[in-house]
Amino acid sequence: MKYTIFPLVLLGLLIGCTKEKPVDPTDPTPPVDTTTHIIELGKGSVLRNGMEWKADFLAKYYVTDKHRFYITARLKESGFDHAFTIADIVTSHGFQVFEPSTYWNGNNKIPEVSYFVSLDLDQLINSYDIDSTRTNQFIELLRYDSIHHIVEGRFQTFLEGPNTWWFLPDSMTMTEGKFHLKIQ
């Protein structure tokens, strides 16, 4: 009798288990409530490959053009320097889509994204660029204050790169990105 109860209990436990379907980050993102701030001033956040990435975010104007700025997030991780940058962002409200970064299009007011892994900030280990086959990659400016130089918004991008290092992933997903920064 006890030999038949154990398999029945085990079978009941296995049948009762369900696996949740993971959320696909390419699904459209919900609208943002713009009456309140999405993140505290001076902060930025993003999920890198689905995990919270606790980098320091910074926003700076271009030296020659105060209508464009860039955002950089940096973190020293496992002895390596990780730098994520969204460049050539225009200070107007709304969605802006990313373009692949090349030497020739760095000054055309269309945002570009890059991610670098380096050693001692000068020895490049790996670089990641935008995955041009993916959709739903954007930066959205929710607020821009030209008097106090404060910008707030959100972003999402998918990056890929040639990888010859076993300890680095072949691709990076940067999802649920938020920022509320004073532009320097």
pLDDT digit string (tens) for 163-174? 778 888 999 999
CA–CA distance, 152 with 42 (Å, rounded to integer):
10
Single-letter code of the amino acid located at 167: F
Q: With the C-alpha atoms ordered 28, 29, 30, 34, is the resulting torsion angle positive or negative?
A: negative
| CB environment 91-103: b (16+ within 10 A), e (fewer) | beeeebebbebee
How confident is the model at residue 20, as a pLDDT? Answer: 45
pLDDT digit string (tens) for 62-77? 988 889 999 999 999 9
Q: Using alpha carbons, list the distances in angstroms from residue 12 to 2, 5, 17, 169.
A: 16, 10, 9, 39
Gyration radius of the chain over CA positions: 21
> Region 43-62: what's the mean pLDDT?
96
In angstroms, how far apart are the furthest CA atoms of the chain? 84
CA–CA distance, 146 with 154 (Å, rounded to integer):
18
CA–CA distance, 104 with 62 (Å, rounded to integer):
17
What is the number of other CB atoms lying within 10 angstroms of the CB of residue 105?
13
User: H or E segment at 6?
Assistant: helix 2-16
CA–CA distance, 114 with 129 (Å, rounded to integer):
5
> Region 128-148: what's the mean pLDDT?
93
Collapse the DSSP code of 180 into the 3-class scheme (helix H, G, I; strand E, B; otherwise coil) and give the result. strand
- Specify the pTM: 0.78
